[in-house]
């Protein structure tokens, strides 16, 4: 484990995190890459994030990714199956990209899924046109299982690549 990995951890979302996530909604580049609605008013983002904190969805476990005192992203483990969930992750805002944080946050999500939740399988998808996300899933040791739905990424026609990782 590298030093940076040891300094990043996951914890439950809290109301104090809402302002951070709302601020990311003003980062057009982040929104376009993460699939967030661009130019959504702060009030709408705030209501969305407050609802996620106050009334979490039973099939979506979202953990804040934190380095020091800063929220740097989040991890999702999505699904209703008791032994299998989909991994999702983001790092924000876009100024933090290119430092290896995406891989660290995704790895923490896998560790949480297997170690804390006791999952037997974690799967994920990445748009082929988003090679950074593809590389992260591959770096986790995930095996590609096939082609998913067509998707446009930053105006480029592409498709989802599907991956899976089974409990070691």
pLDDT tens-digit profile of 90-130?
A: 999 999 999 999 999 999 999 999 999 999 999 999 999 99
- Give the helix/strand (H/E) hosting 152: strand 143-153
What pLDDT does 1 receive? 40
Mean pLDDT by 10 residues, the chain (168 residues): 68 97 96 93 95 94 95 97 97 95 97 97 97 97 98 96 96
Q: What is the pTM of this model?
A: 0.93
* Cα(167)–Cα(110) distance, integer angstroms: 9
What pLDDT does 168 receive? 84
CB 121 within 8 A of CB 164: yes
- Three-state secondary structure readout of 33-75: HHCCCCCCCHHHHHHHHHHHHHCCCCCEEEEEEEECCEEEEEE
Helix (H/G/I), strand (E/B), else coil: 130: coil
* Cα(147)–Cα(159) distance, integer angstroms: 7
């Amino acid at each position: 484990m590298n030093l940076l990995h040891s300094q990043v951890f996951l914890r439950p979302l809290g109301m104090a995190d809402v302002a951070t996530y709302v601020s990311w909604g003003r980062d057009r580049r982040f929104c376009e890459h993460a699939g967030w609605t661009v130019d959504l008013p702060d009030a709408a983002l705030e209501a969305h994030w407050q609802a996620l904190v106050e009334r979490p969805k039973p099939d979506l476990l979202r953990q804040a990714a934190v380095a020091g005192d800063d929220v740097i992203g989040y991890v999702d483990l999505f699904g209703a199956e008791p032994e299998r969930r989909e991994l999702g992750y983001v790092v924000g805002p876009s100024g933090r990209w290119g430092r290896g944080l995406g891989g660290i946050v995704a790895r923490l999500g896998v560790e949480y899924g297997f170690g804390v939740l006791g999952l037997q399988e974690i799967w994920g998808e990445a748009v082929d046109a988003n090679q950074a996300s593809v590389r992260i899933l591959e770096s986790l040791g995930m095996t590609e299982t096939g082609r998913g739905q067509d998707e446009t990424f930053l105006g480029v026609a592409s498709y989802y690549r599907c991956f899976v990782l089974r409990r070691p």
